[in-house]
Structure 1
Amino acid sequence: MLGLGRADDGKGVRGEFIRLRGQAVFRHGADEPLDVFRQQVFRVHAFNRAKASRLSLLSRHQETQSSRG
């Protein structure tokens, strides 16, 4: 977790957010328990890591296909 701040989600709901590697994850005030909030953050982090890995594999596959063609 690289930052913590307060924000408005654009719908008039105020809450907190943390920024994780450029990704802002929003917590709606005190209604959402902090441990659930942290789980969401780490889920976002894991999703982004998996997405980057898939894109890397796809890129390598495309390079291999184009070098064969």
Structure 2
Amino acid sequence: MKAAVDQDRCVGSGQCVLMAPDVFGQRDEDGIVVLRNEFPPVELYDDVRQAARVCPALAIELDES
């Protein structure tokens, strides 16, 4: 799995950080998402998928090919 984020779409809700804190973080100044791990380990796949599903701005893209 490869994760990507679109910081321009992000609204800073922080839901991704709650779901997968080892993969997603937030900038201190404005709460916009930062990607901590572009290639998360297999054991985090379910959490990363959930983070993408709950993102209100649809700012997370996953490539599972």
Q: TM-score range by the shorter chain?
A: under 0.3
More helix by share: 1
Larger radius of gyration: 1
Relative contact order: is structure 1 or structure 2 higher (C-alpha 8 Å, sep ≥ 6)?
2
- TM-score (norm. length: structure 2): 0.27
